[in-house]
Structure formats: structure tokens, C-alpha cells
Amino acid sequence: MKFHYPNGKKYVEATLPSKKPRAKTKQVSYSNRGMTLEEDINETNQYYLTFHKAVIHKKPTPVQIVDVHYPSRSAAVIKEAYFKQPSTTDYNGVYKGRYIDFEAKETKNKTSFPLKNFHEHQIRHMEAVDAQEGITFVLIRFSVTEDVFLLPYGPLRYFWDRMLEGGRKSITRDELEEKGILIPLGLHPRVDYLKIVHQLYF
């Protein structure tokens, strides 16, 4: 089956080189570095679900199917499909009766976060959530230091509008430290963003 990303490029499944079996394998600790922000959030959300703290899930990437074969009446085989551009944010759910909706982004930059990583439709979606008194924010991770900041929608909108008016096209780390909240990394859960959400909104 062929998949295409929104930019038209084909999805190519990565193949790993074959390795000789080792006599003894090292078990990877959960606290090891190198996990992506998405993996950390997914682990955290599973922790919240298991311990009945919240129900928050990653939204699936929408797929447009363009070619389906029917080898038999009871079976259908998808031959070609495209990953569509998501129209909202990455995660949503409910916490203590409040709707939560947020986006998660990473950067390899050390001193600023480029606003080009956001799409206008995502900002509009968060604006709509905020207007309905939902809780909406972004989690921004500096991958070099593994620092994760929670930035509420209000300050994010200020930085977005500043860019549209010809100002900076990024948020400096100093601004994130001032307007956002640094989330201390833990073990269980890894990125306890709900602790910050509770302090800000409850």
C-alpha cells in the first residue's frame, strides 16, 4: 500500500540493517534520554488514564484513501492513500469536567522556538476552544536540553500576532521562561503537564 504525506512525497517504510544476535541484551530504562516529546506525552496520558486522573488521547492523523482493490466480496485492500494535513491540534480530552485541547512541538534550537512550526488553522482552532472556555495550550520542548514548557493560549496568541504585525518570527527561550511554565521531568508520569494545568485553571 502506498501512503503520501501532505507535501506529495511517498511514505517509505524504513528498513533496518540485519544485526547478529547478541548473547546478552541491555534493558532500556524508562528514564533514559532520547524519547521524543510525543512518546513522553503518550506515556504520560496512559498513566493519567490508568490512575483515573484524566482521559486524554492523541488525535489520529486523517487519511484520504484513493485506491482500493476488492479481491473478494468480503475483503478490501487499500492500495494507495494520503496522509492529510490535520485541521486541529495533536491532543484532546477531559480533566475534572473541563475540555482540554493542546498541541505539542519540538525544536533543536537552543535559544528560541520558530513560530513557523505552527499553522494558522491550529491557532484558529485554539481560539475557538478558548472562546468556549476550554483549556488550550501548547507544550514546547527544546530537544537539546529536554526542557519542556507549557505555554497557555493567551501568550501564544500574543507572540503569533506580533509575528503577523512584522515582529519576531520566533519565541525566545527567555520569553518562554517568563510567559510559560517549565515542567520538571519525572518518571511516572514523565511529563506531568496536568499538575501545571491544575495550578493555572483550577
pLDDT, one tens digit per residue, over 111-163 is 999 999 999 999 999 999 999 999 999 999 999 999 999 999 999 999 999 99
pLDDT of residue 11: 52
DSSP state of 191: B
Q: In total, how many domains does the chain have? A: 1
Question: Is the residue at 3 inside a domain?
Answer: no
Task: Report yes or no: 101 and 134 within 8 Å, Cβ to Cβ.
Answer: yes
Q: Model confidence at 194, in pLDDT bands (50, 70, 90)?
A: very high
Q: Is the pLDDT of residue 90 over 50?
A: yes
Q: Is the pLDDT of residue 18 over 90?
A: no
- We report the CATH number of the domain holding residue 109 as 3.40.1350.10
Q: Is the pLDDT of residue 81 over 70?
A: no
Question: Is the residue at 68 inside a domain?
Answer: no
Q: State the cell numbers at 188.
A: 511516572
Question: Is the residue at 7 inside a domain?
Answer: no
pLDDT of residue 72: 76
Q: Is the pLDDT of residue 2 over 60?
A: no
Q: Transcribe 46-97 into DSSP letters.
A: HHHHHTTS-EEEEPPPPEEEEEEEEEETTEEEEEEEEEPPPSS-SEEEEETT
Question: Is the residue at 80 inside a domain?
Answer: no
CA dist 57 and 84 (Å) reads 19
What's the pLDDT tens digit per position in 153-187?
A: 999 999 999 999 999 999 999 999 999 999 999 98
Question: Is the residue at 49 inside a domain?
Answer: yes
What is the SS3 assignment for 36?
Answer: coil
Share of the chain above pLDDT 90, in %: 66
Question: Is the residue at 194 inside a domain?
Answer: yes
Quote the domain boundaries for residue 196. 35-60+87-201
Q: Which of 87, 181, 200 is nearest to 139 (CA)?
A: 181
pLDDT of residue 82: 62
pLDDT of residue 33: 47
Question: Is the residue at 122 inside a domain?
Answer: yes
pLDDT of residue 88: 83
Q: Which of 39-43, 56-60, 132-136, 152-156 has the lowest mean pLDDT?
A: 56-60
CA dist 90 and 84 (Å) reads 14
Share of the chain above pLDDT 70, in %: 75
b/e code 8-24 from CB counts within 10 Å (16+ = b): eeeeeeeeeeeeeeeee
Q: State the cell numbers at 15.
A: 528498513
Task: Report yes or no: 33 and 40 within 8 Å, Cβ to Cβ.
Answer: no
Q: Is the pLDDT of residue 94 over 90?
A: yes
Question: Is the residue at 30 inside a domain?
Answer: no
pLDDT of residue 85: 59
b/e code 187-200 from CB counts within 10 Å (16+ = b): eebbbbbbebbeee
The average pLDDT across 94-118 equals: 96
Mean pLDDT, the chain, integer = 84
